[in-house]
Amino acid sequence: MNFKNTREFARELDAQDKLFKYRNEFIFPKVNGKQVIYFVGNSLGLQPKSAQKYVNEVMTDWAELAVEGHFYAEKSWWDYHERFSEKLGKIVGANASEVTVMNTLTVNLHLLMVSFYRPSGKRYKIICEEKAFPSDQYMISSQVRYHGYDPSDAIVEIKKRDGENNFRTEDVIEKIREVGDECALVLIGGVNYYTGQVFDMEKITKAGHEAGAFVGWDLAHAAGNIELKLSEWNVDFAAWCSYKYMNSGPGNASGCFINKKYHNKKDIPRFEGWWGHNKERRFLMEQEFQPEPTANAWQISNAPILSLAPYLASLEMFDEVGMPALIEKRDKIVAYLEFILHEIDKEVESTFEIITPADQSERGTQLSVFLHGEGREIFKYLMDNGVITDWREPNVIRLAPAPFYCSYENMYEFGQILKTGILNKKK
């Protein structure tokens, strides 16, 4: 498509956009009385207008029914979390039985390590990507130390080649083959949080299995962003947070995928609690644990209903729209943003380097842009002018135009504000 860097053209794209009306279903912060241009849905998604209603519903049930709400609320609490499995399954490409929602992301990764990081003999190493998200690094390192190994030996990092911004699939696979029968687990962020690169999860999962390792994915930046087929790819486990692309609210619950081949297995180690017990018998308070025959067996505590409520509100919208429509708009709006960046770059004679892969199959919603020659002041200028981006040292801004609520006109306006900011500085 031949894009144009004009307001009229951007408005034309908005007029053709089937998802445009959803902008109105979200609440935008305001700067100088004007709705912001929000590029940080990869960090904290905007609040759906329906979220408050879902929370109020729980507050009312609590007031009117108190403990009886567990069974008699319209959305009963004892099985509230089960309302998520099917909807989340569609988002991550899994059977409903393989998906559950509980705790928070890093907590879930720790819990899943109980089942999937079982070092023994010479097989004790974990392969991950270099400069993984810090929480993942701390999690993996503490797990390795907990099992009595030295992180500098037991953690094997996949590296980028010198001068390259992204990982190469062949290097990941090569590393897995090299570690071979010493590899206990491959655990990588499915979409890199810094560059937005999408890993070839199918190929890497296959290579991990060929080496005899478990393969898990941290999908913090992938869930609700890219197409996932966790069942088909035969992934062992995965977890994600819901407050980024899935708009569930700050610090909200994480989702987990546990491949069905591990359900109903007596020999799989797992930390257990009453919410993972056979649900028909949960309140009989029996001594022996009978796991649910699904991913719900990994549940531990009774669910935080008040926090799940806005998550459910958001999932209803995902269900209505569907990932294919979101992905279709995503590709187009990201391509338009990329075009705008190149146009502005020419006009201001600056040098923007987009470090996210140019190939659409290797990226999702996020473009990470190295602003050579620009400092933090441009980030601040954008903020002061109603463009919310995210700044990473040394001088990268991450731009994620979430297809649910960003418009093409936003992209055009962003370009104009960026241009003015840079030119002002040069004066």
Ligand X SMILES: *Cc1c(COP(=O)(O)O)cnc(C)c1O
Annotated binding site for pyridoxal 5'-phosphate: 105-106, 133-136, 218, 221, 243, 274, 302
Number of residues engaging ligand X in binding (CB under 6 A) = 12
| Closest CB 202 distance from ligand X, rounded Å | 20
Check residue 110 for interaction with ligand X (CB under 6 A).
no
Taking the least distance from each CB to ligand X, the nearer of 10 and 223 is: 223
Using the Cα atoms of residue 195, residue 233, residue 96 and residue 260 in order, give the sign of their dihedral: negative
Residues making up the annotated binding site are: 105-106, 133-136, 218, 221, 243, 274, 302
Closer by beta carbon to ligand X, 364 or else 421: 364
Please tell me the distance from the alpha carbon of residue 72 to that of residue 70, in angstroms, as a whole number: 6
Site for ligand X in 182-241 (CB under 6 A): 189, 193, 218, 220-221, 241
CB of 42: closest distance to ligand X in angstroms? Answer: 8
Q: Residues 237 to 276: which contact ligand X by CB under 6 A?
A: 241
Minimal distance, residue 133 CB to ligand X, in Å: 3
**Residue 173: strand, helix, or coil:** helix
205-225 exposure pattern, b = at least 16 Cβ within 10 A, e = fewer: bbbbbebebbbbbbbbbbbbb
Minimum CB–partner distance for residue 56 and ligand X (Å): 25
Residue 298, token pair as written in the block: 């990994």
Does the N-terminal peptide bond of residue 394 adopt cis geometry, omega within 30 degrees of 0?
Answer: yes
352 by DSSP, 3-state: which?
Answer: strand
Q: Which residue has the tokens 């709400």?
A: 69
Smallest separation, CB 63 to ligand X (Å)? 30
> How many H-runs (helices) and E-runs (strands) does the chain carry?
13, 17
**Region from 83-91, 104-112, 113-121, 144-152 binding ligand X, contact rule CB under 6 A:** 104-112
Q: List, in sequence order, every beta strand (DSSP E) within 296-400.
A: 351-354, 367-372, 387-388, 390-392, 396-399
And the tokens for 212? 């005899």
Question: Nearest approach, Cβ of 371 to ligand X (angstroms)?
Answer: 22
Query: Which residues within the stretch 293-352 sit at the binding site for ligand X (CB under 6 A)?
Result: none
Q: Which stretch binds ligand X (CB under 6 A): 102-110, 121-129, 313-321, 328-336?
A: 102-110
Burial grade of 267 (CB within 10 A; 0-12, 13-18, 19 or more): exposed
Interface characters, 121-140, with ligand X (x: CB under 6 A): ------------x-xx----
Residue 154 or 191 having the CB closest to ligand X: 191
The residue within the footprint of ligand X, chosen from 97, 104, 137, 302 (CB under 6 A), is: 104
In sequence order, what are the residues at sequence separation of 6 or more whose Cβ sits closer than 8 angstroms to the Cβ of residue 317?
22, 25, 48, 50, 247, 404
3-class DSSP assignment, residue 162: coil
- Cβ atoms of 235 and 246 within 8 Å: the answer is no
Given the complex with ligand X, which of 238 and 241 has the nearer CB atom?
241
Residue 178 C-beta-side C-alpha neighbours within 13 Å? 11
Closest contact distance (angstroms) between CB of 237 and ligand X is 15
Site string for ligand X, 136-175 (x = CB under 6 A): x---------------------------------------
Binding site for ligand X (CB under 6 A): 104-106, 133, 135-136, 189, 193, 218, 220-221, 241
